[in-house]
Chains A and B, each alone.
Chain A
Amino acid sequence: MTSLYEEIPPAPAPGVPTTRVTITVNGEKRTLDIEPRLLLSHLIRQGLQLTGTHMGCDTTGCGACTVLLNGRPVKSCTVLAVQANGRDVETVEGLSSAQQLHPIQEGFKQEHGLQCGYCTPGMMMAAKALLERNPNPTEDEVRWALSGNICRCTGYQNIVKAVLWAAEKMREQEG
């Protein structure tokens, strides 16, 4: 099924100039021929079929499409896929292994940090970036770090609790 956001096919039409890029996605090196105008979010969802990353507003406002680019959170609807050339991309699929949830995922489960779940992948990636820089954040620091991500269900309370839960769990694991 084609939606408004899925008009660009992962493979460009014949004759369209492409650029060859090599991007490490969740630890795996991928070499791709893409159109320069392809957005990173489109590449991730349509090209690589990693549909955990969600498209919300498509205008840099909501943060649902947040992924990590070389470890820093970016809104993937506002980065060209070619700009990830030679760089590392981590999506929500990169958080868990086959058997084990990441503490951030576990935190969202424990604290009921999601209702519809649409914003959740972006929230989790923004939280991951925060906890990598600041393993022991205050509630205010969590709210600050998530202020570029919009949730329309939860009122944010349980999302904040989930991130604090995860921070504690990760500190225990480290310690």
Chain B
Amino acid sequence: MYPSRFDYDAPSSIGEAVAILDRSGGEAKVMAGGQSLIPMLKLRFASPERIVDINNIPGLDYHRLDADGTLRIGALCRHEDLEFSETLAESHPTLYAAAAVVADPIVRTRGTFVGSVCHADPQGDWAATMIALDGRIVAVGPNGRREIPMKDFVLGPFTNALAYNEIAVEAVIPPAKGKARGGYLKLERRIGDFATASVAVALDMDGDVVRRAGCALAGVGGKTIDANAAISVLNGKPLTPDNIEAAADAVAAAADPRTDHRGSAAYKRQIVKTFVSRILTSVARTEQKAA
């Protein structure tokens, strides 16, 4: 398989890339890692007139913590950069857990965090973590920069809030209010398959009390499911078995799975409940040991 013909640009600055997008009036597509876009081009699900490859723009491959704990992930930070990150293991357990299960190790050398969020695949891992962590996307367009909160960024399957002449240059994850805890669990038939069901949970802990709980689901709905409201039943409460079960039930009710070759709707909903419960129980145990 090979893509239909396109014109190709590999600009060396964001300004230049935005100018090309602006000129092409919605007929161009930005390529970062290309691990979703190239298959879509080959299958002719997408046939843009122009590809704007941002891989030659220097200075976008970072991920770093600001002094206040804000995490910034540049548009060319690859999945494996996060998987092997030394800072992330301590500071961002939800992201760190997800990094190891995105696609497969070879795809992770190439695919990018920001690109995956922009792709807005209902089964994508990173958009779910971003929603749970209340992140935002920094977009640059002809009129400058703007920040888009995750809750307004994913509009539907494969649809994001970027204008045709904007590029997502950075993902921003706000600092935890307290200790950052959480996890990411994904059920897949084999490594590299799409998720049967995935659960991202992010907790800000104050002692043994949950100050803020965030949650999002992948693979169990027509788009990434924002389960932040559902898991907020934990806010202000300790992680007791009863509270954990109530939260797991609330999140499972927010899932909207469909029966398909990966399993029945009821099965997927049960997986969601189990995963929420496992992540929360694991956090509770770790906190108990630490205390």
Q: Do A and B bind each other?
A: yes
User: Contact flags (1/0) for A127-154 with B, using CB distance below 8 Å?
Assistant: 0010000000000000011011100000
B104 touches A147 (CB 8 A): yes
List B contacts of A60 (CB < 8 A): 35, 38-39, 107
Indicate with 1 or 0, residue by residue over B96-114, a CB within 8 angstroms of chain A CB atoms.
0000000111110110000
Given contacts A60-B39, A73-B109, is CB(A39)–CB(B104) below 8 Å? no
Tell me, yes or no, whether B261 is within 8 Å of chain A by CB.
no
B146 within 8 A of A: no
Q: 4 closest Cβ contacts across the A-B interface?
A: A148-B104, A36-B8, A148-B106, A72-B109
* C-alpha spacing A73/B106, complex, angstroms: 6
**Is residue B3 within 8 Å, beta carbon to beta carbon, of the partner chain?**
yes
User: In the bound complex, do residue B192 and residue A37 qualify as a contact, i.e. CB atoms below 8 Å apart?
Assistant: no
The answer to whether B8 touches A148 (Cβ under 8 A) is no
Q: Is the CB–CB distance between A39 and B191 below 8 Å?
A: no
- A37-B6, A78-B34, A78-B39 given; A147·B1 CB < 8 A: no
User: A36 to chain B: closest CB distance in Å?
Assistant: 3
A38 to B8, CA, bound (A): 11
Which of B51, B103, B109 has a CB less than 8 Å from the CB of A36? B51
The binding surface of chain B is classed by DSSP as loop
Interface residues on A, range: 35 or more
Q: Give the complex CA separation of A37 and B42 in angstroms.
A: 9
Shortest Cβ gap from B42 to chain A (Å): 7
Contact, CB under 8 Å: B191 / A148: yes
Task: Tell me the minimal C-beta distance from B146 to chain A in angstroms.
Answer: 29
16 intermolecular pairs with C-beta atoms under 8 Å apart? A7-B2, A37-B6, A60-B39, A63-B106, A72-B109, A73-B109, A74-B106, A74-B109, A78-B34, A80-B53, A82-B10, A147-B105, A148-B103, A148-B104, A148-B106, A148-B192
- B2 A38 Cβ-Cβ under 8 A: yes
* Complex Cα–Cα for A75 and B43 (A): 16
- Determine how close the nearest CB of chain A comes to the CB of B188; give it in whole angstroms: 11
Chain B residues close to A by CB (< 8 Å): 1-8, 10, 34-35, 38-39, 41-43, 51, 53, 55, 80, 103-107, 109-110, 191-192
Shortest CB–CB separation between residue B139 and chain A, in angstroms? Answer: 23
Given contacts A80-B34, A83-B53, contact A126 B2 (CB under 8 A): no
A residues near B191, Cβ cutoff 8 Å: 147-148
Contacts of A83 in B (CB 8 A): 10, 34, 53, 55
Closest to A55 in B: B1
- Given A61-B192, A126-B105; 4 other pairs, CB 8 A cutoff: A5-B1, A78-B107, A83-B53, A148-B105
Most A CB contacts (10 A, CB to CB) among B34, B43, B80 go to: B34
Task: List A contacts of B4 (CB < 8 A).
Answer: 37
A75 touches B192 (CB 8 A): no
Residues of B within 8 A of A72 (CB): 80, 109-110
Task: Report chain B residues within 8 Å CB of A129.
Answer: 109
User: Chain A, 114-131, contact with B by CB distance < 8 Å: what is the 0/1 string?
Assistant: 000000000000100100
Interface membership of chain A positions 23-47, coded 1 if the CB is closer than 8 angstroms to chain B and 0 otherwise: 0000000000001111100100000
Contacts of A145 in B (CB 8 A): 105
Asked whether A82 and B8 contact (CB < 8 A) given A38-B2, A148-B192, the answer is yes
